[in-house]
Amino acid sequence: MSKATLQPTLQRRPLVKKILDGADDNLLVIAGLGSSNWDVTEAGDRALNMPLWGAMGAPVGMGLGLALAQPGKRVLVITGDGDMATRPPTPARATMARPSRAPAPT
């Protein structure tokens, strides 16, 4: 396959910037290790963004903690496969905890 056929159709960094450009004071953002940190950081400095440099596996659990502690806020966790691989049961636990506005477990 040529490189031309392997080009991604979704560009993470511009997408994250677009999401965060519309963020208000009710959106708390946690970025996981690696590319997601750079994506959030590149989008611009914001007091309610928390990039977790060197905290592998922590973003989903921290997002759950924020959602439970701040039920009036929206929490966005942007992370990748490395974080998820280090703590596989965390997404299920976060869903079962049912913070406000969380999707119901299926």
Q: Could you give the number of structural domains in the chain?
A: 1
Question: Can you give the pLDDT at residue 56?
Answer: 83
Instruction: Write out the two tokens for 16.
Output: 């994250």
Q: CA 61, CA 66: separation in Å to the nearest integer?
A: 9
Q: What is the pTM of this model?
A: 0.77
Render pLDDT for 40-95 as a digit per residue (tens, 0 to 9). 999 998 999 999 888 888 888 888 889 889 989 999 999 888 777 777 777 777 77
**Residue 105 pLDDT greater than 70, yes or no:** no
Strand partners, 25: none
- Any domain includes 69: yes
In a domain? residue 3 = no
pLDDT at 28: 95
- Digit-coded pLDDT (tens) for 8-55: 678 889 999 999 998 999 999 999 888 899 999 999 989 999 998 888
d(CA 44, CA 20): 8
pLDDT value at 106 more than 50 = no
User: Is 56 a member of any domain?
Assistant: yes
15 falls within a domain: no
8 in a structural domain: no
Domain that holds residue 55: 24-77
Half-sphere exposure of 11 (CA within 13 A, CB side): 5
d(CA 17, CA 24): 13
Is residue 68 situated within a structural domain?
yes
Residue linked to tokens 């159709």: 9
